[in-house]
Amino acid sequence: MIRIAQLSCGPEYSGVQGELEKAAEMVGAELIFPEVSLEDVRNVEERFGIEVASGDLNLAMARATRIVENPDLADAVFVATCFRCAEGAIVRSEIRKYIHENSRIPVLSYSFTERTTAETLLTRMEALVTTAKFKGLLSRERQTGLTAGIDSGSTTTKSVVMRDNKVIGTGWVPTTEVVKSAEAAYNAALESAGVKREEIEGLGTTGYGRHLVGKEFGAKLIQEEITVNSKGAVFLADAQKGTATVIDIGGMDNKAISVQDGIPGTFTMGGICAGASGRFLELTARRLGVDITELGKLAMKGDHQKVPMNSYCIVFGTQSLVNSLSAGSRPEDVAMAACHSVAEQVFEQQLQEVEVKEPVIMVGGTALIEGLPRAMEQLLGLKVMVPEYAQYIGCVGASLLVSGLVED
Amino acid sequence: MVKVMVYPPTSMILADLVERTGHEALVVSKEVRKKVNTPGLDSPPLNMNPDDPKKGLKYAAVDVPSGVRGRMSLLGPMIEEADAAIVIKGDSCTLGCTGCARTNELTRFLLRTKRIPLLELEYPEDEFQAKQFVHKIREFLEGLN
Amino acid sequence: MKATKYVVTSQDSDVLPSDIALKIYELGREINVKETCFGVIIDGEEEDIEATVKEVRAMDPSNIFIKDRGFPPGDPRRCRGHRGGGARPGFYMMQHESEILPLISRGLASEAEGEEVPSSIGAKKRPSLEELEEMIEEEFS
């Protein structure tokens, strides 16, 4: 049973402690509260570096120092404070950095409201437990044998076939009915690889539809997309040694993952927000009358500063773009403004929660829209790389990891 | 007999001094007791659920964090019931129900502005201060009758 | 409704938790008693508990303190053993206040004996700017 140390302020009083415990139970873990003494709490300034006004936050920091002193106390850490609490957000961020810098224990940081449910937390908890439990599997660097992966996403379903560490076939379809789309993508990948389904030694599934597809296809590995995507990303970018940061802006959400020596560490996942995902770019492309595959090239010729955007929201954001077009703005500038808006949101929200270390790797279908990585480069002041098969990182990661299970 | 809220509302010392003088001490553990003894609720550890922060909207707006509003759903009714209050100034070991500084600030504010008899003092650090501490509290409580 | 209370003795008290437990058994009410390192936890019907604490306090009024507890004793929702270790927050507060209980006891004893309350000693005086400057000169010369 994976023991996740809960360092928190407020969930019991927000009525969501039960949801946190349910989420942990659903992923085969339990929440624990490492013992600290009154002296530890009183001396938190000396031990951790700061004492704040809220006692529960001091207690959380005291627990963090105990865990670092004795890493056997917990397999993972979950730091949680109320959404909108500045004191909480600052302490949460410092606890995350402290544990990351002083131990190898994976940390999940989250801000909850009274509406947080176990389902909201599930993917994050799953990723945390995977990182704690499957370090051996996650350290795998090469794909061996003949394996395949299916990424059943909210917007698109992708599949790859790999042999001896190379991608030999790919398939990509829009997601309509989950299993049917998976069939179509998988068949396309098998066909382009020139292999039969029976020859595949192991299949891994990921994405929103992973459980359904995994069960239907008898997958050996069913894994959430945080660990799998980051694994696929560093594999494709040949960045499995040292640090890396993976930014995955998908069709409906976005993630940022810090990776160390090929193993995902801290990660954040944005809440479902159309304005901070590919959905906004789709809408922009449609409005500009271009195919989504052309939006990127158009944006590269534009200047986002010429098109003021008043809102990150997809509804109001689109309105801003429409107003600009009516006022005579060039489509190139509008396209780049849309890319910049999405990149900026991810920069301001997700990228403040992870350690951004080079190389910065952008993945997901949206990474192929050239304006988006360019906008991210401008915001970060760092080079952003988009590896080949960037939209297939989920299935590549799944295929790579499942080959480890096949070998065993 | 008067209802006296103590701050911190978890203080054994203040609650005891109030009750031995024959008044009723309003302490948060009594609110917790009501919650944990309510059948049909199963929300660990305190049987608080997402409706409680909504109840707390009476005391703090929706953009105030849920932990503040949740704690206020416990403390607010106590403040409303209080005919008098004793408040300890300065830091003390405030955790759990008193683990949020914003909630504590709001509680002290609401008690002060309620215009009820209010005694504010600090925890004693030596015997001399302790004698003054106990004496002031006894005088205050006896004066409430 | 059922109620739960702590009966805590200050370190200066001659009354032991076992003495308190015995007294409560003698009173014959339907009260559960659990001894702990700092005193006892008792639970039962509210009226029985209220009547009992009055009599228990009388054993040593200056050194016995009563505190309400929300949870019944050993409740798994709060029990250290069940909830993955770690004391519940209320424990730290009790520990914190227990440290000054002997002082409060002395204050109560003093009140009980009708002792005159000492008036305040002059407040600590801050040095004036000139005095501070003199001290700095002296130290660094």
Q: Is C89 on the interface with A (CB under 8 A)?
A: yes
Q: Is B12 on the interface with C (CB under 8 A)?
A: yes
List the CATH number of the domain containing A195.
3.30.420.40
Cβ separation B95–C57 shorter than 8 A: no
| Listed residue (A88, C111, C31, A345) closest to B137, CA to CA | C111
CA dist A233 and A387 (Å) reads 8
Beta partners for residue A166, in sequence order: A163
CA dist C42 and C30 (Å) reads 10
How many residue pairs bridge chain A and chain C with CB atoms within 8 Å of each other? 25
Band the pLDDT of B43: cuts 50, 70, 90.
confident
- To test the contact with chain C by mutation, choose from B26, B33, B100, B136 the residue with the greatest count of C C-beta atoms within 10 A, namely B33
**Total domain count, chain A:** 2
Inter-residue contact A382 to A202 (CB < 8 Å): no
Inter-residue contact B15 to B27 (CB < 8 Å): yes
The verdict on residue A100 lying in a domain is yes
**Residues of chain B neighbouring C103 (CB-CB closer than 8 A):** 124-127, 129-130
- To test the contact with chain B by mutation, choose from A8, A9, A14, A17 the residue with the greatest count of B C-beta atoms within 10 A, namely A14
The verdict on residue A192 lying in a domain is yes
Inter-residue contact A44 to B102 (CB < 8 Å): no
Domains annotated for chain B, with CATH where assigned, are 3-142 (3.40.50)
Residue A189's region, left for phi above 0, alpha for psi from -120 to 50, else beta, is alpha
CA dist C27 and C52 (Å) reads 8
Token pair for residue A107?
A: 């940390």
Mean pLDDT over each residue of chain C, to the nearest integer: 87
Band the pLDDT of C80: cuts 50, 70, 90.
low
Cβ separation A15–B70 shorter than 8 A: yes
Is residue B38 exposed (0-12), middle (13-18) or buried (19+ Cβ within 10 Å)?
exposed
Q: Which amino acid is at B117?
A: P
Q: Is B33 on the interface with C (CB under 8 A)?
A: yes
Q: Is C82 on the interface with A (CB under 8 A)?
A: no
**Chain C residue with minimal CA distance to A7?**
C86
Helix (H, G, I), strand (E, B) or coil at C62: coil
- To test the contact with chain C by mutation, choose from A12, A38, A44 the residue with the greatest count of C C-beta atoms within 10 A, namely A38
Of B54, B74, B99, the CB nearest to A9: B99
Of C61, C65, C106, the CB nearest to B13: C65
The verdict on residue C141 lying in a domain is no
Q: How far is CA A399 from CA A9, A402, B45, in A?
A: 39, 5, 42
| pLDDT score recorded for residue C101 | 93
Cβ separation A56–B45 shorter than 8 A: no
Inter-residue contact A5 to A73 (CB < 8 Å): yes
**Chain A residue with minimal CA distance to B101?**
A54
| pLDDT score recorded for residue C121 | 61
* pTM recorded for the entire structure: 0.82
Q: Is C87 on the interface with B (CB under 8 A)?
A: no
Mean pLDDT over each residue of chain B, to the nearest integer: 93
| pLDDT score recorded for residue C127 | 87
Cβ separation C107–B19 shorter than 8 A: no
Q: Which of A180-194, A359-373, B31-45, B50-64 has the lowest mean pLDDT?
A: B31-45
**Residues of chain B neighbouring A112 (CB-CB closer than 8 A):** 66
Q: Which of A213-217, C44-48, C76-80, C91-95 has the lowest mean pLDDT?
A: C76-80
**Residue-number span of the structural domain to which A94 is assigned:** 2-133
* A114 & A173 share domain: no
CA dist C71 and A328 (Å) reads 68
**Residue-number span of the structural domain to which C71 is assigned:** 2-112
Close Cβ partners of A53 (under 8 Å, ≥ 6 residues apart): A87, B101
Token pair for residue A227?
A: 């660990």
B19 HSE (CA, 13 A, CB side): 21
Q: Which amino acid is at A402?
A: V
Cβ separation B99–A56 shorter than 8 A: yes
**Residues of chain C neighbouring A59 (CB-CB closer than 8 A):** 89, 92
Q: Which amino acid is at A9?
A: C
CA dist A4 and C84 (Å) reads 10
List the CATH number of the domain containing C45.
3.30.70
Of B25, B36, B131, the CB nearest to C71: B36
Q: Which of A90-99, B2-11, C12-21 has the lowest mean pLDDT?
A: C12-21
CA dist A29 and A75 (Å) reads 10
Q: Which of A178-182, A254-258, C17-21, C92-96 has the highest mean pLDDT?
A: A178-182
CA dist A240 and A318 (Å) reads 39
| pLDDT score recorded for residue C78 | 67
* A19 & A95 share domain: yes
Cβ separation C88–B97 shorter than 8 A: no
Residue B40's region, left for phi above 0, alpha for psi from -120 to 50, else beta, is left
Is residue A7 exposed (0-12), middle (13-18) or buried (19+ Cβ within 10 Å)?
buried
| pLDDT score recorded for residue C109 | 92
Q: Radius of gyration over alpha carbons of chain B, in Å?
A: 16
CB neighbours of residue B43 within 10 Å: 19
Inter-residue contact A104 to A138 (CB < 8 Å): no
Cβ separation C89–A56 shorter than 8 A: yes
Strand order of the β-sheet with B3-7 is B24-26, B3-7, B84-88, B118-121
Q: How far is CA A340 from CA A312, A320, A333, B85, in A?
A: 10, 13, 10, 55
Ranges assigned E (strand) in A154-242: 156-163, 166-174, 202-206, 221-222
Cβ separation B100–A115 shorter than 8 A: no
Question: Of the candidates A133, A157, A174, which is a domain's last residue?
Answer: A133
**Total domain count, chain C:** 1
- To test the contact with chain B by mutation, choose from A8, A9, A13 the residue with the greatest count of B C-beta atoms within 10 A, namely A13
| pLDDT score recorded for residue A341 | 92
**Chain A residue with minimal CA distance to B98?**
A55
**Residues of chain A neighbouring C95 (CB-CB closer than 8 A):** 38
Inter-residue contact B73 to B46 (CB < 8 Å): no
Q: Which amino acid is at A127?
A: A
Inter-residue contact C82 to C25 (CB < 8 Å): no
List the CATH number of the domain containing A20.
3.40.50.11900
Inter-residue contact B76 to B56 (CB < 8 Å): yes
* A19 & A60 share domain: yes
Of B43, B51, B95, the CB nearest to A18: B43
Cβ separation A82–B95 shorter than 8 A: no
| pLDDT score recorded for residue C123 | 62
Inter-residue contact A146 to A163 (CB < 8 Å): yes
The verdict on residue C118 lying in a domain is no
Close Cβ partners of A320 (under 8 Å, ≥ 6 residues apart): A307, A308, A309, A310, A311, A337
The verdict on residue C37 lying in a domain is yes
CA dist A217 and A261 (Å) reads 32
Mean pLDDT over B82-93 rounds to 89
Neighbours of chain C (3+ CB pairs under 8 A): A, B
Of C4, C72, C103, the CB nearest to B127: C103
- Looking at chain C, the whole-number percentage of residues with pLDDT higher than 70 is 91
Q: How far is CA C71 from CA A301, B78, C68, in A?
A: 66, 18, 9
* A53 & A123 share domain: yes
A394 HSE (CA, 13 A, CB side): 29
Give contacts of A 96-135 with B, CB under 8 A.
112-115
How far is C-alpha A285 from the geometric centre of its chain's CA atoms?
Answer: 25
**Residues of chain C neighbouring B75 (CB-CB closer than 8 A):** none
Of A56, A88, A112, the CB nearest to B95: A56
**Residues of chain B neighbouring A81 (CB-CB closer than 8 A):** 67
Question: Of the candidates A109, A133, A157, which is a domain's last residue?
Answer: A133
Alpha carbon of A30: minimum distance to chain C alpha carbons (Å): 8
**Residues of chain C neighbouring B99 (CB-CB closer than 8 A):** 89
| pLDDT score recorded for residue A336 | 94
pLDDT < 50 regions, chain A: none
Token pair for residue A99?
A: 């544990």
How many residue pairs bridge chain B and chain C with CB atoms within 8 Å of each other? 124
